Amino acid sequence: MNTDYKNMQAPHLIIIGGGFAGIELVKQLKNKPVKVTLLDKNNYHTFQPLLYQVASGGLGPDAIAYPLRKIISKLSNIAFRMAEVLTVDTNKKCVSTNIGEFNFDYLCIATGSQTNFFGNAELEKYSMQLKSITDALDLRSDILQEFEKALSESDTSNITRILNFVVVGGGPTGVETAGALAEMKKNVLPADYTELDASKMNVYLIESASRLLASMSEASSTGAAKFLNELGVQIKLNIAVVSYNGNTITLNNGETIETDTVIWSAGVKGKSIDGISIDALGKGNRYKVNAHNQIEGYKNIFAIGDIALMNGDEKYPNGHPMVAPVAVQQAQLFAKNLTHLISNKPLQSFHYFDKGSMATVGRHKAVFESFGIKMQGYIAWLGWMFLHLMLLVGYRNRLIVFINWMWNYISYQRAIRIITRPFVRK
């Protein structure tokens, strides 16, 4: 029994969100003079960078999820409650959740982000997204159901629509998802659906900017586009989506594509919490924070990770990129600053240390850049694999992912091609 937490007389910190930022923060606060309650609507942490592999049947959901209770089980000053936070009362210093209320001395919001459909209700209704394990399982079912549907269809225009897959957004998620779909066309369709003509499957990648992977160098963008072209992905640059009605996607050059499946990976926005002043919200629905992650207008309320929009870092005038290393580094500094705050010591300012970025394309290609070194192709893919294995939480998950990747590599197959929970279209 965790008596330390129960009996602890220390300032109480509530953390909302057990994502990259939240779990790093609890680890850093181990044995510190602060009582911590971690709240998350799920009882697991999701390793979002590999969601696309769950969606394409390469990994099972348990390989990229990790129980939050396991993370805190040896941290005696920390407790976890599976609770969805509904509102915050900043005057009463209390959060309301679906399981009751929690009082706090300090609050840290680490709720991450959600898909941004930029107010287009139709796109939101009909597109698939990739932000959670549920989304990834829906997409996996949808892709496999489309293959099944194509088999019993005789009308060629219907087959075209069913086997057209459109990915919107040429960032890392879009590039990786399009590559995985193209691999399914190349390896899964010919093996599992021998009665289908695999050449009828089309994968489109639509990007409104002039290049893919805009956050990386021109060389990486060109490399990723080349690898995708080799896999047969049809890339459309400088083109935006106007509408999608569930059957037809219309582009701003007047072109239309008939498709049952649009995967929207063209943007995210912060996942804010009711009760925090809307004046504190900045661009992208993220909370404006100072260099100590303190939310504008509040002394005891902080935001870290994707939800935080930090102004003042010269290199990042529009806030830091919404990536895992920013979340982890902000959590590390906030843990330090919180103990300083409690003991009236001066706080340190946050500076992001960018170690580089990467994206994988298909089965064994990637683009990778770090500290001025740029790599592409097979070696970059080995680097990508190694780093993702190291970043996964838990030895079991690393082992499962490693075994699955080796199996996929040797067999050319996506291991988990099963429809366990059929996806029902809206």
Ligand X SMILES: Cc1cc2nc3c(=O)[nH]c(=O)nc-3n(C[C@H](O)[C@H](O)[C@H](O)COP(=O)(O)OP(=O)(O)OC[C@H]3O[C@@H](n4cnc5c(N)ncnc54)[C@H](O)[C@@H]3O)c2cc1C
Indicate which residues carry an active-site annotation: 176
The residues with which 97 forms a beta bridge, in sequence order, are: 85, 100
58 binds ligand X (CB under 6 A): no
Site string for ligand X, 104-123 (x = CB under 6 A): ------xxx-----------
39 binds ligand X (CB under 6 A): yes
Q: What is the DSSP letter of 281?
A: B
CA distances from 37 to 24, 196, 382 (A): 14, 53, 38
Q: Which is nearer to ligand X, 100 or 254 (CB)?
A: 100
Q: Output the smallest distance, CB 122 to ligand X, in A.
A: 22
271 binds ligand X (CB under 6 A): yes
Residues 248, 256 contacting (CB under 8 angstroms): yes
Instruction: Figure out which of the listed residues 21, 54, 167, 206 binds ligand X, where binding follows CB under 6 A.
Output: 21
> How many of the other CB atoms lie within 10 Å of CB of 238?
12
β-sheet with 100-103: strand ranges across:
85-89, 94-97, 100-103
170 binds ligand X (CB under 6 A): no
48 binds ligand X (CB under 6 A): yes
305 binds ligand X (CB under 6 A): yes
Q: Output the smallest distance, CB 171 to ligand X, in A.
A: 9
323 binds ligand X (CB under 6 A): yes
84 binds ligand X (CB under 6 A): yes
Which own/partner contact pairs does 331-334 have at CB distance under 8 Å and 24+ positions apart?
331/20, 331/21, 331/22, 331/24, 331/25, 331/28, 331/110, 331/304, 331/305, 332/24, 332/28, 333/293, 334/25, 334/108, 334/292, 334/293, 334/302, 334/304
Q: Output the smallest distance, CB 219 to ligand X, in A.
A: 19
Token pair of 45, please? 């942490």
329 binds ligand X (CB under 6 A): no
Instruction: Figure out which of the listed residues 8, 13, 20, 289 binds ligand X, where binding follows CB under 6 A.
Output: 20
Q: Output the smallest distance, CB 251 to ligand X, in A.
A: 23
Nearest residue to ligand X by CB is 19
For strand 35-40 and strand 44-46, is the pairing parallel, antiparallel, or unpaired? unpaired
Cα 56 to Cα 187: distance, rounded to the nearest angstrom? 12
The contact set with ligand X (CB under 6 A) reads 16-22, 39-42, 48-49, 51-52, 84-85, 110-112, 130-131, 172-173, 271, 273, 305-307, 322-325, 327
